[in-house]
Amino acid sequence: MMHIPARVVRAERENERVVSLTFDVKLNGAPGQFIMVWLPGFDEKPYSLAGASPLKITVGARGSFSTKLCSLKKGERAWVRGPYGRGFELLGKKILLVGGGYGFAPLRFLAAEAKKRGIHAVAICGARTKSLLLKPAACKTIFSTDDGSFGIKGSAIVAMEELFKKERFDVVYACGPEKMMEAVARLAKKHRAGCQLLLERYIKCAIGVCGHCACGDKLVCFDGPRFGYEMLANPEFGKIWRDKAGRKVQL
């Protein structure tokens, strides 16, 4: 699968670090799947679908590549290939979406799909502080900030615990920092809900050949990026990341 050129039709600032880009291409993709975005001559990185038709991604300025991508203006191009990987599976009648930072972006795509199918969704959007929150999803969205500057004071987990005191959910979907997702999985398990997590690793080939994106014996690009409770038994989940060289980095 070669890249296709994609022109930005809308660049929307979400907060001081995050921009959502909508492109003039349509992909047959599901929430939770990802694409590789190439800036020719520079680098190529994975992004979760924030929308597929039209293609939309949400980019947090983190390193030189994402900063450059964030600066794309309407009419400018990036090259994309994909979508890749196994996306979320919409199950149950009532679901909870828990996002940390810009990990909330693919969950907003999921919320839109849930709405189309008549599945009742509630979302938690957590961030360190108010200026890092994303915009709400197409469902009831509860905000939480670590410093209490907006919404519930505390992590998304605190908000999730509050919610489970009052309500039941069939499935919990999470995307965000891995330690947060680990906590989400444990809490969902305690409340006997299903659980789907979206993992991130340094991705090179994106098609399951090179092995660089391994989390234990799982390949994030090929076996995932959506995983479930089995990750709680994975020796590297929530603990170890591998850098560009493949060196272990403690999370």
Partner 1 sequence: MVSLEVSLCGLKLRNPTVLASGIRGNNAYLLIRAAKEGAGAVTSKSCSLLPREGHNNPTMMGCQPFMLNAIGLSNPGVDEEVEEIRIAVKRAGVPVIASIFAHSVEDFAKLASRISEAKPHMIEMNISCPNVHREGKMFSASPSDAASAVAAAREATSAPISAKLSPDVPNIGEIAAACVGAGANCITAVNTMGGMLIDAYARRPVLFNEYGGVSGPALKPIALKAVYSIRKAIGPDVPIIGTGGGASGLDAVEMIMAGATAVGVGSAVVLRRNAFREICNEMKAFMKENGYSKISQLKLES
Smallest separation (angstroms) from partner 1 to the CB of 230: 13
Residues 40-69 that bind partner 1 (CB under 8 A): 40-45
**Residue of 161, 207, 232, 241 interacting with partner 1 (CB under 8 A):** 207
* Residues comprising the chain, all counted: 251
Residues 2-31 contacting partner 1, CB under 8 A: 2-3, 5
State the Cα–Cα distance between residues 200 and 221, nearest whole angstrom.
Answer: 9
Q: From 113-121, 123-131, 142-150, 235-243, give the range in contact with partner 1 by CB under 8 A.
A: 235-243
Query: Does 72 contact partner 1 by CB under 8 A?
Result: no
Asked if 50 and 9 count as a contact pair (C-beta separation under 8 A), the reply is no
222 contacts partner 1 (rule: CB under 8 A): yes
Verify binding: residue 251, partner 1, rule CB under 8 A.
no
- Find the shortest distance in angstroms from Cβ 103 to partner 1: 21
**Which of 13, 74, 168, 248 is close enough to bind partner 1 by CB under 8 A?**
248
1 binds partner 1 (CB under 8 A): yes
Binding residue for partner 1 (CB under 8 A) from 212, 220, 224, 231?
212
**Which residue, 211, 217, 218, is CA-closest to 197?**
218
* Candidate ranges 26-34, 112-120, 140-148, 214-222; the one touching partner 1 (CB under 8 A): 214-222
Largest CA distance in the chain: 52
34, 38, 88, 143: which one contacts partner 1 (CB under 8 A)? 38
- What's the token pair of residue 106? 């693919």
Binding site for partner 1 (CB under 8 A): 1-3, 5, 36, 38, 40-45, 79, 204-212, 214, 216-217, 219, 222, 235-236, 242-248
